[in-house]
Amino acid sequence: MKSENTALATYEQIHRDLTRTLEPPGRLYYGLLGVVLVVLAWAIFAWIYQLKTGLGVAGLNHPVGWGVYITNFVFWVGIAHSGTLISAVLFLLRCRWRNSIARSAEAMTIFAVMTAGLFPIIHLGRPWYFYQLLPYPQEGQLWVNFRSPLIWDVFAVGTYFIVSVLFFYTGLIPDLGTLRDRTHGWKRKLYGFFACGWQGTNKQWRSYSKVYLLLAGFATPLVVSVHSVVSWDFAVSIMPGWHSTIFAPYFVAGAIHSGLAMVLTLLIPLRRIFELDAYISRRHLEYIAKLMIVTGLILAYSYAAEFFIAWYSDNIFERYTFVYRATGRYAFAFWLMTFFNVAVPLLFFAEKIRTSTVWLFVISLLINIGMWLERLVIIVSSLSRDFLPAAWGSYKPTWVEVSITAGSFAWFLLWFLVFVKLLPIISINEIKEVWSQPGVREKDER
Amino acid sequence: MNDKGIAVIGTFDAVEGVRSAVTALHQSGFKDTTIYSPLNSHEIETELEPVESPIGFLAFGGAAAGAGIGLLLTIGTSIQWPLMTGGQPIISLPPFFVISFELTILFGVLATLLGMFWQIHRSKSDPKFYDSRFSVDRFGVHVVCDEDRVVVVKNLLSTAGAEEVRDERF
Amino acid sequence: MANGTEITRRDFFKVVGVGGAAATLVGCGAEPPEKLIPYLIPAEEIIPGVGLWYATTCRECPAGCGMVLKTREGRAVKAEGNPSHPVNQGALCARGQASLQGLYNPDRIREPLIRNTDGTFRPVSWEEAEGTVAKHLSTLRTEGKGQRVAFVSSLVGGSLKQLIERWMGALGSHRTFIFEALGYDGLKTAHEILFGLNTIPRYDLGKSQFIISFGADFLETWLSPVEYARGFSAMRSYRDGKMGRFYYVGPRLSLTGANADDWISTRPGTEGFLALGMIHAILSAGLATSLGAPGRKGLDALVATFSPEHVSGITGVPEKKIIELARAFATVRPSLALGGGAGWSSSNATAAAIGAALLNYVVGNIGETVEFQSYSSLDAVSRFSEIAALTEEMNRGEMSALLIHRANLVFSLPEKAGFRDALKKVPIKIAFAEFLDETTAEADVILPMHDPLESWGDYSPRQGVYSLMQPVMRPIFSTRSLGDTLVALAKKVDSKMAGQLPWPSFYDYLRESWSGLQKLLGNNEPFETFWQQALRQGGVWKKGEKETVRLKPEAVQSVLAELRLEPETKASMYLHLYPSNALYDGRGANRPWLQELPDPMTKITWGNWAEIHPQTAQKLGVTEGAVVKITSPFGTVEAPAHIYDGIRADTVALPLGEGHTAFGRYAGKRGSNPMSLISPKPGASAASSSLIPVQIEVTTAHETPASTAGNNRQEGRGIAEAVAISEIAHNAKTAHKELKQHPQLRPPHPHPENRWGMVIDLNACTGCSACMVACSAENNVPVVGRENILTGREMFWIRIERYVENDGGRIENRFLPMLCQHCDNAPCEPVCPTYASYHRPDGLNAQVYNRCVGTRYCSNNCPYKVRRFNWFEYEHPDPLNLQLNPDVTVRTKGVMEKCTFCVQRIRGAKDIAKDEGRPIRDGEITPACVQTCPTSALVFGDLKDPQSKVSQMAQDSRRYRVLESLNTEPAITYLKKIRQDNEV
């Protein structure tokens, strides 16, 4: 075990440390896998039940057409965001500390998008016709309506998924070369195939750097656009509480906030289980915590701005919606979300808290809950009390929605478990970059 | 690269050695050098002459194509299907820009990656010069030279701190 | 309906007298039902894909509205009002619209049944069933016990009633009863006492300028609601700065009360005293100018003790108010007082009816707005006392056989009246019934009857209106009509009885009876011409003759005997029962459309409730949905509480109609029957005893009423707007300024040909909700059931929103029909990813079901929340599926649907116009809701045509659009409700 104060390692040692995760799994892994599979199977059963019976098995109803499913969609897309933020934005900003966490954050991005992508299909009334949302020439000569934000979603989330996968893959290529050189048999063939003939020659490295930079450059506006588009699912509507110009930056900040929380939630146990404290040090976690102070404050501003504008606009519908949000049926969710997302991250101002893994872990969970509730509050409180009082209603999720939501976490974790055993969870070559040779000390960069 | 020649490969355990080897080789007029590195070392890169790479142009081309395709797709199909929604014009540019933007990124990334695969493939050297340690903890300097200068190169590499030096004919 | 509609209707509705062809069809009653009609040999009139209309008469309540039934490929798919019928003039109420669900009810008795010894029923052939009945009857006849046979029928038309009496006479009995749960005993008694006329007059609401109703809910159930609603809307229409006034008196704010200028809340059972107080005030002010001295003298004596001051003490209405009302009633002419609730069950119905009739008499309304005629159909209805006497006889074992036709006495009589037990003492009980209701379930032999829509018959609601009923389609099940069964039974009993009923079928009897009518009417055409003409138009009408009316001299004493408010019955809480707008007396309870139809005031569906005032609720610790136990001296019921500020604090009100223990899957085991709270002896002469004290206890049970309402306050949003009558003239001058469009970001829609639009006059809408059922019937809108209503999954394409303005005491109700607004800038359209929602050039917001994948974004983004999502695959249990309109798709689960402005009707009218090479005429297209609206509150047409009625109305100074600030540019313009300026 490497402790933080003896952060010394050779390249060989780095390699051994970082590929230790790929060793045959133990009981903990299988136990976790079992739980994940059971939950997932139950969720699949719930979904099949919903498919057969109709969407009415969910708690949705006439004023409240969207509920937990869209909450989950926005939540998971949000989770996806900090992967790209860490790997692309921090790369562009030359924050080298990202190297320790970028790989797992990117993996998280992909799996989160894969999870998020399920929900627009699950929430459809007729999911078996989901392909009608895709622009392709077909018998019925249907075409998609590019004016619909849901089609923007298809393009944005679709692009985001493809780009995230490719970005992730690009980052993996040198490591795949390494793995190819250190494995045998089918694994060697598999890694070799995906390594695409990587040798680490200076020309390859040069192209690679350029490509990586370009990809980071592409991914950065993309990540901003994706959650902006997701926010426009709401903001282009005329619903009070949705119809707001601050939604795009507000959602992007929220997405990063929740994504960072999820990174912490995943990394803290990972570094513990695989004894990676030397590579994912408290310093890394502390940096994330500091970032979350920033995103939390942006959220605080956004929440306040929403209320201010509702008051300042003198629009009775808008005003009512926000009064209802803070005092109505879903007020408990609103206050929880405000507390978890805004107040709790302020604890990170205390060094003691932001350097304690226990605190970090607990707070990251709270923020995850808070961010999930934020989406629920936005969706449900607006829909249940919109323009015509006679059409007001309320919403309560059913067991089907709860099961499928639980299943989404299982699905996400399943992929993460597969990833952990298949690929190095920390970029080997990037760690080598930030550790000087020989023998050596981690460079003290930002 | 020459059709026939001798390649001398020196193995180093640290970037500093590689850097001094490259400097020495350059001073001695050996330009045809390839360096193997387990990490993306900017220190090595600065020692080498910059190479023109077409990836930037590819990326730009892909992005531009994506933007164009996005606009063509949205505007073209809207004209084909002139259905009015919400009182908006048939060609509603602001929403179409969203689609166009996403496709700009998508095609830009795809073009960039195609460029990368092509470049990786192009800059691959013969596997017999490669050593599997190069991807883990060793650096390699691979110099192509005439038969009569092999000894000079070997000496240069050893002096620079190479752990081992070998030559391969091809 | 608009006059224009009437003409065009004749053009394209082929209202056909079926004559011989249909008679042949009907003759095949015993054949198995056919679901598909093969067109190998097409019947002459039937063109596949084209509707064929048959005129008949609605038999859902005693009003007797004319109906036309649209049939497609041999099955009835839609009921509409007969535009040429004098009673309803083209409109129908919710119950009339739902008559098809009686015809197609899945719980109909499908074949004759005979009771086994173990109490179960076994299906038998008609042969066997009739044989059994004939054997019983013939035995009784030979034993000379014909007298011991009684026949109780629901209210049937003239010819059938004659036939029943003739048949019973042949059997040797004169014991024929007509049973109606809501028989208007009180009203008939009042007229008997005052004028010696056991009848119900015709009330002309349209002619009146001032109406006061003493508990008469004439807009929902009272006598002839469609006719009265039409008259009411005429009276309430704005003319030259004026609008007729209407006051409602009673302990509960009913739908009718909600349409009044003011609700005068009287202590329960004291409505009649208020009327007498008014008479006192009128007489003392010398305003009864039309009265002769003798009549006046008696009156003076009668009301002497009812000075406004005294009456104020009794009723709780301020003295000043009574005097003001009286003055207005006497001076604003013609005026009209309506009194007496629907049946003997409502509080002090006779007293109220007496008061109202006297008021009319005093100011000279009789002959003006109140027309007594030689009869009304309700005259034939047996008094409760007669039914009670029959029950007694049955109890004493004096009845050998009881024949019951469509009368649910077990359900509709107070439990304490003991009819169910008495029935057990009758050895032979034969039911002629469509449904296995509580009474039929007690029978020994059940002969399944045709639905009225499958039967021949006639019905005359009053003198001068002779409506015909004809079968509109081949019978679905192995059923027969009562007339045919009686004729057939007579032939089987014995030859003597057969000889007295020589007709081959009821059809022949009916024709013969109508040939008599023809002579009576002085019509000299050949009978066949007369008959065909009558069938085609649904009957024959001529103006009724007025009867002259005099106050009976001995009336005064009788009245005084009637009017007692017994001090010992003064309790803290009283009971008020009222017939339900949808279920009427309970007969509608097996129709899913009616069960699902929200009550106009409470918006509760599927089940009953007890209305409790908020103060009382607080005192008792009752919350919404808490099940309360209501105990009267006669029984106990449990019902979930509904906190309602339209009820007096000292009254608890329950709607009638629920609480069936049988009667099919939709009615059974739902709610409790409040009839068990009623006195078993509310005889015709004991009106005061209908004031029933009750006690309320809260139970621990909870049952949330399945309400479709969100919030009934507008929260200052200006949704259902009103304008003071004095402001209208001023507004009209500045109206053109208001019409100026907002600046638009984008150019307006071109609408090359038409722009379909609607105008909804909130001043005319009474909230009766007929449009909701009409829409469901026309557009195959599914019924979702109580559980889904509770979770907010109602599917109605149109709803009536009720908003309450309660500014400290005075409750102002506004009803707002809300349907798809077909916005030009529809927020639902651009958010749909698949173009399932898009805008048509003619202004319709179209929904393409096949394209819909069910994202529900359109619904979320609809500010009017009128889109409906198919959460499940909804069922139409066989044979309800036969009612489905073949012109409209049945939607599958997972798609969004909504109002289409009845695009199929627009399409149909356009096709016809195109075939005839002419443009569409204004009024030619009427969506189902517009068609059935009794008050013509909804007007549909082309907004592009500046001459169309809808365009003209859309320019009215009362115009506004709901949520106009959102700039959705809706196609529906609302006209503000008009508010009177001052009290009285």
Q: How many CB pairs under 8 A join B and C?
A: 38
Count CA atoms within 13 Å of residue C719 on its CB side.
Answer: 29
Where are the domains positioned within chain B? 6-52+126-169, 55-121
- In this complex, which of B84, B92, B95 lies closest to C838 when CB atoms are compared? B84
- pLDDT surpassing 90 at residue C303: no
Domain that holds residue C913: 752-979
- In this complex, which of A126, A236, A316 lies closest to C853 when CB atoms are compared? A126
- In this complex, which of C713, C803, C894 lies closest to A126 when CB atoms are compared? C894
- pLDDT surpassing 60 at residue C30: no
Dihedral sign of CA atoms C313, C315, C317, C323 in order? negative
Domain stops at, among C363, C378, C393: C378
Higher pLDDT, C643 or C682: C643
Q: Does residue C356 sit in the same domain as residue C393?
A: no
CA pair distance A215, B128, nearest whole angstrom? 32
Measured between CB atoms, does B84 come within 8 Å of chain A? no
- Mean pLDDT (chain C, rounded): 86
Domain that holds residue A333: 4-434
Work out whether strand C75-81 and strand C113-115 pair parallel, antiparallel, or are unpaired: unpaired
DSSP state of C783: P
Burial class (CB in 10 A: 0-12, 13-18, 19+), A141: exposed
Q: Does residue C647 sit in the same domain as residue C607?
A: yes
Q: Does residue C763 sit in the same domain as residue C700?
A: no
- pLDDT tens-place string over residues C365-413: 888 899 888 888 888 998 888 888 999 999 998 899 999 999 999 998 8
**What is the structure's pLDDT at C28?**
40
CA pair distance C788, A202, nearest whole angstrom? 68
Q: Does residue C255 sit in the same domain as residue C317?
A: yes
Phi, psi dihedrals of residue C161, rounded to the nearest 5°: -65, -40
Measured between CB atoms, does C835 come within 8 Å of chain A? yes
Domain count, chain A: 1
Q: Inter-chain contact B36–A433, Cβ cutoff 8 Å?
A: no
Measured between CB atoms, does B84 come within 8 Å of chain C? yes
Q: Is residue C82 domain-resident?
A: no
Burial class (CB in 10 A: 0-12, 13-18, 19+), C497: buried
Q: C963: distance to nearest CA of chain A, Å?
A: 8
**What is the structure's pLDDT at C735?**
64
Q: Give the count of beta carbons closer than 10 Å to the beta carbon of residue C33.
A: 14
C-beta of residue A278 within 8 angstroms of C-beta of residue A250: no
C-beta of residue A66 within 8 angstroms of C-beta of residue A242: no
Q: Does residue C172 sit in the same domain as residue C210?
A: no
Q: Does residue C676 sit in the same domain as residue C616?
A: yes
Q: Of the candidates A372, A379, A60, which has an alpha carbon nearest to the alpha carbon of residue A240?
A: A379
Q: B62: distance to nearest CA of chain C, Å?
A: 27
Query: Residues 6 or more apart from C568 whose CB is under 8 A from it?
Result: none
CA pair distance A400, A406, nearest whole angstrom? 10
Q: What angle do CA A34, A35, A37 make, to 5 degrees?
A: 65
Give residues 33 to 52 of B whose Cβ lies within 8 Å of A.
Answer: 34-41, 44-45, 48, 51
Q: Which two tokens stand for residue C818?
A: 């809300």
Residue stretches of chain B with pLDDT short of 50: 1-2
Q: Of the candidates A365, A124, A384, A352, which has an alpha carbon nearest to the alpha carbon of residue A240?
A: A384
Q: Inter-chain contact C717–A123, Cβ cutoff 8 Å?
A: no
C806, C871, C962, best to mutate vs chain A, most A CBs in 10 Å: C871
C-beta of residue C675 within 8 angstroms of C-beta of residue C654: no
- In this complex, which of A11, A197, A204 lies closest to B137 when CB atoms are compared? A11
CATH of the domain at C285: 3.40.228.10
Please give the C-alpha separations between residue C439 and each of A352, C410, C427, C577, C663, in angstroms, as whole numbers.
81, 5, 15, 22, 9
A356: left (phi over 0), alpha (psi -120 to 50) or beta: beta
**What is the structure's pLDDT at C453?**
92
Q: Does residue C189 sit in the same domain as residue C334?
A: yes
**What is the structure's pLDDT at A140?**
66
Q: Of the candidates C869, C952, C293, C419, which has an alpha carbon nearest to the alpha carbon of residue A393?
A: C869
A375, A376, A379, A380 alpha-carbon torsion, rounded to 10°: -160
Residue of C nearest to B87 (CA): C825
**What is the structure's pLDDT at C226?**
94
Phi, psi dihedrals of residue C829, rounded to the nearest 5°: -75, -55
- A-chain CB neighbours of B130 within 8 Å are 199
DSSP state of C473: S
Q: Does residue C177 sit in the same domain as residue C222?
A: no
Q: Of the candidates A408, A404, A396, A398, which has an alpha carbon nearest to the alpha carbon of residue A46?
A: A404
C-beta of residue C775 within 8 angstroms of C-beta of residue C79: no
Q: Of the candidates C823, C554, C564, which has an alpha carbon nearest to the alpha carbon of residue C687?
A: C564
pTM (2 d.p.): 0.91
Element (H, E) at C226: helix C225-235
Domain stops at, among C349, C378, C407: C378
Q: Inter-chain contact A65–C827, Cβ cutoff 8 Å?
A: no
- B-chain CB neighbours of A198 within 8 Å are 120, 135
Q: Inter-chain contact C865–A54, Cβ cutoff 8 Å?
A: no
DSSP codes, B44-64: HHHHSPP---SHHHHHHHHHH
CATH of the domain at A271: 1.20.1630.10
Q: Inter-chain contact B103–A430, Cβ cutoff 8 Å?
A: no
Q: Inter-chain contact A437–B14, Cβ cutoff 8 Å?
A: yes
Give residues 713 to 752 of C whose Cβ lies within 8 Å of A.
Answer: 713-717, 719
C-beta of residue C794 within 8 angstroms of C-beta of residue C785: no
DSSP codes, A236-297: TS--TTT--TTHHHHHHHHHHHHHHHHHHHHHHHHHHHTT-TTTS-HHHHHHHHHHHHHHHH
Q: Inter-chain contact C853–A237, Cβ cutoff 8 Å?
A: no
Measured between CB atoms, does A306 come within 8 Å of chain B? no
Question: In which residue are the tokens 């007396």 written?
Answer: C585
Q: Which two tokens stand for residue A74?
A: 């926005």
Coil, helix or strand at residue C708: coil
Q: B81: distance to nearest CA of chain C, Å?
A: 10
- In this complex, which of B83, B87, B88 lies closest to C969 when CB atoms are compared? B87
Mean pLDDT over C153-163 rounds to 91
Phi, psi dihedrals of residue C302, rounded to the nearest 5°: -60, -50
Higher pLDDT, C24 or C310: C310
Q: Is residue A16 domain-resident?
A: yes
Work out whether strand C457-462 and strand C465-469 pair parallel, antiparallel, or are unpaired: antiparallel
- Mean pLDDT (chain A, rounded): 88
CA pair distance C249, C257, nearest whole angstrom? 8
C839, C966, C969, best to mutate vs chain B, most B CBs in 10 Å: C839
Neighbours of chain A (3+ CB pairs under 8 A): B, C
Q: Does residue C336 sit in the same domain as residue C406?
A: no
- pLDDT tens-place string over residues C339-378: 876 555 444 778 888 889 989 988 888 888 998 888 888 8
Q: Which two tokens stand for residue A411?
A: 């699905």
C-beta of residue C962 within 8 angstroms of C-beta of residue C970: yes
DSSP state of C547: P
Work out whether strand C574-578 and strand C335-339 pair parallel, antiparallel, or are unpaired: unpaired
- In this complex, which of A181, A197, A202 lies closest to B124 when CB atoms are compared? A197
- A-chain CB neighbours of B92 within 8 Å are 146-147
Q: Of the candidates C932, C775, C780, which has an alpha carbon nearest to the alpha carbon of residue C80?
A: C932
- C-chain CB neighbours of B95 within 8 Å are 830
Domain count, chain C: 4
Coil, helix or strand at residue B75: helix
> What pLDDT band is residue C687 in, cutting at 50, 70 and 90?
very low
For chain B, strand residue ranges (E) read 6-12, 33-36, 139-145, 164-169
Neighbours of chain C (3+ CB pairs under 8 A): A, B
Summary count for chain B: helices (H), strands (E): 5, 4
**What is the structure's pLDDT at A247?**
92
A191, A203, A232, best to mutate vs chain B, most B CBs in 10 Å: A203
- pLDDT tens-place string over residues C225-236: 999 999 999 999
**What is the structure's pLDDT at A178?**
87
CA pair distance C771, C899, nearest whole angstrom? 12
CA pair distance A21, A28, nearest whole angstrom? 13
**Which amino acid would we find at residue A338?**
T
Coil, helix or strand at residue C404: strand
Measured between CB atoms, does A221 come within 8 Å of chain B? yes
Higher pLDDT, C142 or C33: C142
Q: Does residue C154 sit in the same domain as residue C193?
A: no
- pLDDT surpassing 60 at residue C682: no
CA pair distance C808, C981, nearest whole angstrom? 17
Please give the C-alpha separations between residue A121 and each of A40, C736, C835, C861, in angstroms, as whole numbers.
17, 50, 18, 19
CA pair distance C910, C902, nearest whole angstrom? 13
Q: What angle do CA C605, C607, C609 make, to 5 degrees?
A: 100
- pLDDT tens-place string over residues C413-428: 888 888 899 999 999 9
- pLDDT tens-place string over residues C619-672: 999 999 999 999 988 889 999 999 998 898 988 999 988 999 989 999 988 888
Would you state the CATH architecture of domain B6-52+126-169? 2-Layer Sandwich (3.30)
**What is the structure's pLDDT at A320?**
92
**What is the structure's pLDDT at C197?**
87
Q: Inter-chain contact C833–A236, Cβ cutoff 8 Å?
A: no
**What is the structure's pLDDT at B4?**
59
**What is the structure's pLDDT at C773?**
95
Q: Which two tokens stand for residue B104?
A: 């700009």
Measured between CB atoms, does C831 come within 8 Å of chain A? yes
- C-chain CB neighbours of B88 within 8 Å are 746, 830
Element (H, E) at C115: strand C113-115
Q: Inter-chain contact A125–C719, Cβ cutoff 8 Å?
A: no
- In this complex, which of B34, B53, B80 lies closest to A201 when CB atoms are compared? B34
Burial class (CB in 10 A: 0-12, 13-18, 19+), A317: buried
Q: B86: distance to nearest CA of chain C, Å?
A: 4
Q: Inter-chain contact A389–C850, Cβ cutoff 8 Å?
A: no
**Which amino acid would we find at residue B57?**
F
- pLDDT tens-place string over residues A347-386: 999 989 888 889 999 999 999 999 999 999 999 999 999 9
- pLDDT tens-place string over residues C449-501: 999 999 999 999 988 899 999 998 888 899 999 999 999 999 888 888 888 88
How is chain A split among helix, strand and coil, in percent rounded to 5? 75, 0, 25
- In this complex, which of B51, B99, B122 lies closest to A146 when CB atoms are compared? B99
Q: Inter-chain contact C893–A59, Cβ cutoff 8 Å?
A: no
C-beta of residue A171 within 8 angstroms of C-beta of residue B96: no
- In this complex, which of C711, C830, C853 lies closest to A133 when CB atoms are compared? C853
Q: Does residue C687 sit in the same domain as residue C581?
A: yes
In chain C, the percentage of residues whose pLDDT exceeds 90 is: 54
> What pLDDT band is residue A149 in, cutting at 50, 70 and 90?
very high
Q: C80: distance to nearest CA of chain A, Å?
A: 29
DSSP state of A441: B
- C-chain CB neighbours of B89 within 8 Å are 746
Q: Of the candidates C848, C833, C972, which has an alpha carbon nearest to the alpha carbon of residue C898?
A: C848
- pLDDT tens-place string over residues C540-592: 988 877 778 888 777 777 776 666 655 445 678 888 888 899 998 889 999 99
Give residues 586 to 615 of C whose Cβ lies within 8 Å of A.
Answer: none
ipTM associated with this complex: 0.91
Measured between CB atoms, does A136 come within 8 Å of chain B? no
- pLDDT surpassing 50 at residue A6: no
CA pair distance C939, C313, nearest whole angstrom? 47
Give residues 139 to 168 of B whose Cβ lies within 8 Å of A.
Answer: none
C-beta of residue A259 within 8 angstroms of C-beta of residue A284: no
- In this complex, which of B41, B102, B115 lies closest to A211 when CB atoms are compared? B115
Q: Is residue C472 domain-resident?
A: no
Q: Does residue C195 sit in the same domain as residue C329?
A: yes
**What is the structure's pLDDT at C19?**
39
DSSP state of A20: G
Q: A61: distance to nearest CA of chain C, Å?
A: 5
**What is the structure's pLDDT at A217?**
92
Question: In which residue are the tokens 């009246």 written?
Answer: C417
Burial class (CB in 10 A: 0-12, 13-18, 19+), A441: exposed
